[in-house]
Amino acid sequence: PPLGDDPERTYRLGIMGGTFDPIHYGHLVTAEQAREALDLDLVLFMPAGSPAFKQDKHVSDPEDRYAMTVLATAANAAFYASRFEIDRPGVTYTVDTLGELRSRYPDNVELYFITGADAIMDILAWHDAERLASLATLIAATRPGYDIETAKARIAASGIDFDVRYIEIPALAISSSNIRELVRDGKSARYLTSESVMGYIQKNDLYVTGE
Ligand code: ATP
Ligand code: MG
């Protein structure tokens, strides 16, 4: 991906992970606010191949989730949709992704993993949380319905040395689950995500059965 290669300067690479089933304005605003707050050079949007915490749930085809991610991020020069996780076989663990990125990029590239308040709340339960903490700075954005203070307290009590930057962002009470439910019920989900993503959902009959 288009990150510069000037050895004299530091690059800040953001990674926005998610299932993106579908991607929506909550994800896009979170990434854009994180990009600006931490002066990130680039944000990679990475749909998870086989999300660790959704093993017992139906998740749409990775190619559809990736295509929607491409559509939603296309107009932002600092956003890039990445196949990195969907091309890796097996259960997707963020720590593996960050480890691989760390070994591929030189030392002047810093990694920033972007999350919402619900994800940061659960981070201690993530696979190899301690190593994850050593690989990237975490950016935790506010999200309606989730209390960031609870997350802060848990992280402080964990004894693991996480570097977390908390950012306050415009509240968008949008979730992929809600969009799937609206589509399944034949209700409008327009303007919760981009027109291109809505069009893709309709054209490909996604979420109609509510699986
Ligand atoms: P689902 O309802 O299927 O779980 P979701 O809307 O929570 O979907 P995910 O793909 O699970 O979306 O989330 C990916 C990342 O985006 C997580 O870090 C999550 O906290 C963050 N995120 C999602 N929606 C928002 C939102 N509206 N505001 C802030 N952060 C968000
Ligand atoms: Mg979620």
Domain 11-174 grouped into CATH 3.40.50.620: yes
Is the ipTM of this structure higher than 0.90? yes
CA of 209 to the centre of ligand 1 (A): 22
Here the tokens at position 80 are 């890039």
From the CA atom positions of the chain, what is the Rg in Å?
17
Instruction: State the burial class of residue 82 (Cβ atoms within 10 Å of its Cβ: 0-12, 13-18, 19+).
Output: buried
**Distance between CA atoms of residues 169 and 178, nearest Å:** 20
N-to-C CA span, the chain = 34
* Predicted pLDDT of residue 1: 64
Q: Which residues line the pocket of ligand 1, CB cutoff 6 A?
A: 18-21, 26-27, 30, 115-116, 118-119, 141, 143, 172, 174-177
Q: Which ligand is nearest to the CA of 118?
A: 1
What does 15-30 look like in DSSP terms, one character per residue? EEEE--TT--HHHHHH
Ligand 1 atom having least distance to the Cα of 115: 18
How far is it, in rounded angstroms, from Cα 19 to Cα 55?
Answer: 12
Percent of the chain residues topping a pLDDT of 90: 95
- CA of residue 19 to ligand 2 center, whole Å: 7
Q: Where are the domains of the chain?
A: 11-174
Determine the pLDDT at residue 2.
76
Q: Which atom of ligand 1 is nearest to the CA of 178?
A: 2
Q: Whose CA is nearest to atom 25 of ligand 1?
A: 26
Residues 6 or more apart whose CB falls under 8 angstroms from that of 199 comprise none
Of 119, 110, 115, 33, nearest to 79 by C-alpha is 33
Tell me the CA–centroid distance for residue 135 and ligand 2, in Å.
Answer: 22
| Residue 51 confidence class, pLDDT cut points 50, 70, 90 | very high
* pLDDT for 211 beyond 70: no
